[in-house]
Amino acid sequence: MSQPVRVRFAPSPTGIPHIGNMRTALFNWLYARHTGGKFILRIEDTDQTRKVEGAEEKIYESLEWLGLEWDEGLDVGGEYGPYLQSERLELYKSAAEHLITQGHAYYCYCSPERLTQMRAEQSKRKEPPHYDRTCRELTPEQQAKKVAEGITPVVRFKIPLDGKTSFNDIVYGQVEFENVLLDDLVILKSDGFPTYHLANVVDDHMMQITHVIRADEWLSSTPKHMLLYDALKYNAPQYAHMPMTFGKDKAKLSKRHGATALLDYKSMGYLPEAMMNFLVLMGWSLDDKTEIFSKDDLIRHFSLERVSRTGAIFDMDKLNWFNGYYIRQLTVDGLIERITPILGKELPDEVKRPIDEDQLRRIVPLIHERLKLLNEITDLVSFFFVEDVQHNADELVGKKMTGELAVNALQSSSDKLSSLVEFDADSLENLLRPLADELGLKTGQLFGTLRVATTGKSVAPPLFQTMEVLGRDKCLKRIGSALDMLKGVG
């Protein structure tokens, strides 16, 4: 194409953006960046009855978290604004009036009650619901009578009564619909607001959108849009419809498959780069083996021709794998940057703020490989920061040990640790491994009891490195508390 690529993401502020919405946004953004085109953010707020307070802000937050910056939009401006549909009502009204004048649309005065009764009767006859075109051929006199009765009409578009409408979809190829199966759709409501069908056609034309990339649930609406383009004498954009998203059970993705709002994954501790890599592979692939893509890789390789028609599977296990992979790729400082805000909010009040970054630099290498989600961090490292930990007597007494053996093990360890010259991981290991033999214990028994005593956990980072970071005083104090507990139990 000689015309620069212009694509748009046009969400409705009727809820929090979900996984399917954001995959659509990602595909649009990638195509714009791949081609050197523009990515436009347009807010389609024509359904005022379903508008949710704060939803528009969540749209911005979702895009920003995923790293999808927009070139034109409500907050950044652009030469084709306004980018909020409720501020463009005169454009839609003018287009509807033009269609009426040209004989492509008509006023419909049918009441909601009549339409409900009509659909009920169609259902009884086992017919698909459709408007019966009662108002399509009203005479001027009949229309004047309706107006005199105080009825505020809607505007409906006249679908041709015969023939076919076809278009070429980049993903699905040539698509064709029988016009007789299409309904005379409402394009302007009685409150003066357009329906999606008219608004998106008018806006896409006026904003010079070259490619409409959207979910394939809109595929059946596209012939109506093509007919609108033709009636308005607009050039239609190219269409590319993305495959549906399903759960692993092949059912349409819903809340029963897990969280569906993108920002839920942010709060659960997923990385945006992991989510981007995961989302793009839900319907697109470079080949049959490459799975890891940086943002730059995706921009370089993305094409609509490689989008699959097959439904995409949302696999949480795969997402978790991606997240673990990307966490492991972070540098120590990079991970510290991600986890510090979480720790600042979640660590107990007794822990001094701001969080000690030097201490984090010693801790992070111990837990880096184990971290799968960022929000696991507090549970993994809180014992490093608090003064005291809670002990469980059953956990202090390891397998095939008695309380007496556990007390002896902790007391002997405390005595030796008190006199250790260098309190570092190597010195600790050289001291404690032989001690297990001296006590007639397996190393796993001694180390397990010490781990619980020093961290309060039966599962923790490597023992000797952990004890080094905790320091002699804190280790001895916690071992003493564990001894007091066991002696009290005994």
Closest CA to 204 of 176, 175, 239, 245: 239
What's the farthest any 2 CA atoms get from each other in the chain? Answer: 108
Judged by DSSP in three states, 258 sits in: coil
* Length of the chain, in residues: 490
DSSP letter at 107?
E
Q: H helices of 36-130, where?
A: 55-66, 89-101, 112-124
Cβ(269)–Cβ(345) below 8 Å:
no
Judged by DSSP in three states, 84 sits in: strand
Bridge partners of 40? Answer: 8, 72
Tell me which amino acid residue 235 is. Answer: N
* Given 124, 126, 250, 255, the catalytic residue: 255
Burial (Cβ within 10 Å: 0-12, 13-18, ≥19) of residue 47? middle
Judged by DSSP in three states, 236 sits in: coil
DSSP letter at 339?
H
CA distance 106 to 153: 9
**Active-site residue 255, yes or no?**
yes
Closest CA to 464 of 438, 411, 434, 426: 426
CA distance 396 to 485: 10
Cβ(133)–Cβ(184) below 8 Å:
yes
CA distance 368 to 152: 65
Judged by DSSP in three states, 238 sits in: strand
Cβ(135)–Cβ(106) below 8 Å:
yes
Neighbours of 397 (CB within 10 A): 22
C-alpha torsion 142→143→148→154, nearest 10 = 140
CA distance 138 to 108: 9
Active site residues: 255
